[in-house]
Amino acid sequence: MEMERYSVIEDKNPREIVLLRGTGCKWGRCAFCDYHLDRDPDPAANFELNRAVLSRVTGVHRHLEVINSGSFVDLDGNTLDEIARVCAEKKIRTLHFECHYIHRREVPALRERFSALGVTVKVKTGVETFDRALRETVLHKGIGTDDPADIARYFDECCLLFGLSGQTEASMRHDIETALAHFERVCVNIMVENSTPVKPDPAVIACFRERIYPQYANDPRVDILLHNTDFGVGGEVNV
């Protein structure tokens, strides 16, 4: 299957988005995630693919999001150089990356590098939930703090994961409200069936869609992915 790796998001926070490929998430232990399988140990092969994807960026919104099924530190140096070159050429002014909490101390250097080009970097991290017992005992997320403010010191945006057994309307509302209190933006992902043992709970998903989704569907600070390909990347290329 050839995967779609470029899309344009037109509604909330309009931007282009690219799904690049790195050498693999260095944490790689999240119980719910198999995105890390989109990797290659060969940096040269990754750069060849990434350069082709980045060539599709037009700068239409002067705003670009880079995801890579891991963290920006998993991208090879040539790819990061190419991102910088594309930002300059296409006059990108805001650039989003993703990053696991374990790489938080590498974020300032990334911001500084692109700031020198006149580009503001926004970094998103996967929190999934602020319920530490669920996050660490079940999901094995690897975030060693209970304090949302400690996480937000390093990151601008966060992802939440809903649709898991044990989550309730109250717990999901608490997660969204906590995220909005500490981060600029939040991306809510609904759990989908994948190759991991963690399975979506239809009753929890129905609760979210009926009771919570209507409240936040039009909130400009909240992205909601009812399916993991809703941003237009990650699915099969239409031919």
Is residue 171 within 8 Å of 129, Cβ to Cβ?
yes
Q: Is residue 233 part of a domain?
A: no
Q: Provide the 10 A C-beta neighbour count for residue 94.
A: 17
Long-range contacts of residues 106-111, Cβ cutoff 8 Å, at least 24 apart? 106/73, 107/154, 107/155, 110/72
What is the pLDDT confidence band of residue 2, given thresholds at 50, 70 and 90? Answer: confident
Total domain count for the chain?
1
Cα 127 from Cα 39, distance rounded (Å) = 22
DSSP state, 226? S
Q: Provide the 10 A C-beta neighbour count for residue 85.
A: 13
Statement: residue 10 has pLDDT above 60 = yes
Residue 3: per-residue pLDDT: 92
User: Tokens 């996967």 identify what position?
Assistant: 126
Q: Is residue 231 part of a domain?
A: no
Q: Is residue 235 part of a domain?
A: no
State the CATH number of the domain containing residue 166.
3.20.20.70
Q: What is the mean pLDDT of residues 216-230?
A: 96
28 vs 239, more confident: 28
Bridge-based pairing of strands 185-190 and 157-162 is: parallel
Model confidence over 71-93: pLDDT tens digits? 999 999 999 999 999 999 999 99
Statement: residue 1 has pLDDT above 80 = no
Q: Is residue 238 part of a domain?
A: no
Residue 239: per-residue pLDDT: 52
The residue range of the domain holding 39 is 6-225
